[in-house]
Chains A and B, each alone.
Chain A
Amino acid sequence: MAALLEVRDVARSFRGLHVLREVSFEVPEGGIVGLIGPNGAGKSTLFNIVSGFLSADRGRVIYAGTDISDRSVPQRSYAGLVRTFQTPQVFPHLTVIENLMAGCYKHTTTGVVANLFGSRASRAEVRRMRAEADAACDKFGLTTIRDRPAGKLPGGQQRLVELARAVVGKPRLLCLDEPSSGLNTGEVAGLMAALERLAAEGITILLVSHDMDLVKVASVIHVLCFGEIIARGPLGEIRHDPRVREAYLGA
């Protein structure tokens, strides 16, 4: 099967420091792929290049058979490639439900004038967005806090709001940047269950993390170290790879 995401020979340096050296990897459609590595391995840089926040010096990013290397972040989002951030980027003054409704905007079709005067189509669309946002609140356990401003919530819940907002946008490839940071053990377990559920619904997930517990949900893991992929395979295999052990334990 053709890969949904294909990163080809991507290189990037900052002021002469080679953060990524010719990195290549694939994410097949369906399932969860993990990208791990110690701090400073280049995970964030790679992730920013995939999601469009940074451009690569060399190499290409192919998504669903199309070279998207020159596409902007919103263009990638419309194509179904959506990311979350290490620090959750919710709209702090909007309520949870308003945040989720904003996640539906890219699928709206009614124009400014119709919205302005509340045409029938426009009102129907708002009802549909609200229903979708409500359903997502249910799914991610946000119903009790749906009318609270997202910025006032604790970090773990903001992370869920951000994830739910990405999911209501109906992504094909969901890229999650350190989704477990700031979560307690119980919340991590909930997150893992949620990710497995999303994967079962057919959303492909690329997971960046240094949390070895969380990456258990991934079927394949790529290990990035000093800008190079040093190992790849299921967790059971890479865990015993001497280079991975060295990178993580310094042994």
Chain B
Amino acid sequence: MNGTLLLQSVIVGITNGFVYALVGLGIAVVFRGTRIINAMQGEFSLVGGLVAFVVVESLGWPLAVATVAGVLAGGVLGFAMEWLLVRPTRRRGAGEESYLLLTLGVAFAISAAVLYFIGRDTRSLPGIGGEGSAVLFDAAVRYHAMWLVILSSAVMLLLRLFYDRTRIGLSMMAASIDEDGAATIGIDVPLMRSLSFLLGGLVGGLAGVLVSPLITIHYEMGLLLTLKGFAAAILGGLLNPFGAVIGGLTLGLIESLAVLTVSSGYKDVIAMTLLIVIMIFLPNGMLGRGSRKGG
């Protein structure tokens, strides 16, 4: 094994890790605000990526516009999901498990709709900053990967500030911890739930736009991302949204190093085995119980 190859793997691992982290972050955002395990987080990315693709390829608009459109599409889908399906389900007094089934069902429906209307073809978005690469100690780093890391980090930082500092962010958490107590101090609990889905959707849409130049857009992409994002969120501790960042990076690095040392066919086996081991020894996630707030 030489140094360049190792460095290259680390770069790939970090890039993928940030994608998993973003998807995991979206799952954690929704969970934190609604206590719903959102099995369609990856679909936000699928739709966000597709919308961005349409804006770039069919309308011929600049990538920046497409990026914004993709992010917004994810947000709209998230909000609509809560408004049209989650809220009526809750009104009928559904239990926690119903929501998992609901989101999983919608995930398959969206995936099937994409297969039906667009087919099995894969589509690719141009990378942000072009298709070129910079050279770092003989290893290539795509400009897009750098943008991916920068944009994801910025979003993570903003979300952190949002939850720590803004009244809305704190109210979203309060609403999910104690519905009745929150309502009586003036917090609009249903609105906070919608906003959590909206926020999860926005993060998902961004993940879609950022990942599409790397893995291409196809109808099964959502489920794939949900699985990885879910693993990232669990690794970091589902209630601590920033745990997903640590979890995602860990997962990405392990995968890419597994490819280097074992074989690419086994990367999921190794990553998921690690997930199980961590869950046994650290059931509250890698950051433990002390670091979580709000549940």
A residues engaging B (CB < 8 A)? 51, 53, 72-74, 77-78, 82-85, 89-94, 102-103, 105-106, 108, 110, 112, 115-118, 122, 162, 165-166, 169
Contact = CB atoms under 8 A, between A and B. Distances in A.
B251 interface: no
A73 B165 CA distance: 25
Contacts of A162: 181
B184 A83 contact: yes
A201 to B, nearest CB: 19
B177 A91 contact: yes
Given A89-B184, A106-B185, A116 B167 contact: no
Given A53-B180, A91-B178, A91-B181, A112 B166 contact: yes
A102 B170 contact: yes
Contact of B184 (A77, A93, A118): A77
A85 B167 CA distance: 23
Give the one of A51, A103, A115, A162 with max B CB within 10 A: A115
Contact of A115 (B165, B178, B292): B165
A142 B59 CA distance: 62
A122 B164 CA distance: 13
Contacts of A116: 158, 161-162, 165-166
Interface string B171-200: 100100110111111111100000000000
B274 to A, nearest CB: 29
Contact of A105 (B167, B183, B294, B295): B167
Given A115-B166, A118-B165, A74 B181 contact: no
A112 B174 CA distance: 16
Given A77-B184, A93-B293, 10 more contacts: A53-B183, A82-B185, A84-B184, A94-B177, A102-B170, A102-B174, A102-B185, A105-B170, A116-B161, A122-B165
Contact of A91 (B161, B174, B292): B174
B85 interface: no
A85 B186 contact: no
Given A93-B294, A93-B295, A118-B165, A105 B171 contact: yes
A73 B179 CA distance: 11
Contacts of B161: 116-117
B188 A72 contact: yes
B154 interface: no
A212 to B, nearest CB: 26
Contacts of A169: 185-186
A48 to B, nearest CB: 10
A115 B165 CA distance: 6
9 contacts: A92-B177, A94-B177, A105-B171, A105-B187, A108-B167, A115-B165, A116-B158, A116-B166, A166-B185
Contact of A93 (B169, B177, B183): B177
Contacts of B158: 116
B150 interface: no
A82 to B, nearest CB: 6
A93 B163 CA distance: 14
A84 B178 CA distance: 13
Nearest to A106: B186
Contacts of A74: 183, 186-189
B163 to A, nearest CB: 10
A165 B166 contact: no
B120 to A, nearest CB: 42
B180 A89 contact: yes
A74 B181 CA distance: 10
A90 B177 CA distance: 9
Contacts of B167: 105, 108, 110, 112, 115
What 3 A-B pairs are tightest by C-beta distance, nearest first?
Answer: A89-B181, A106-B186, A115-B166
B168 interface: yes
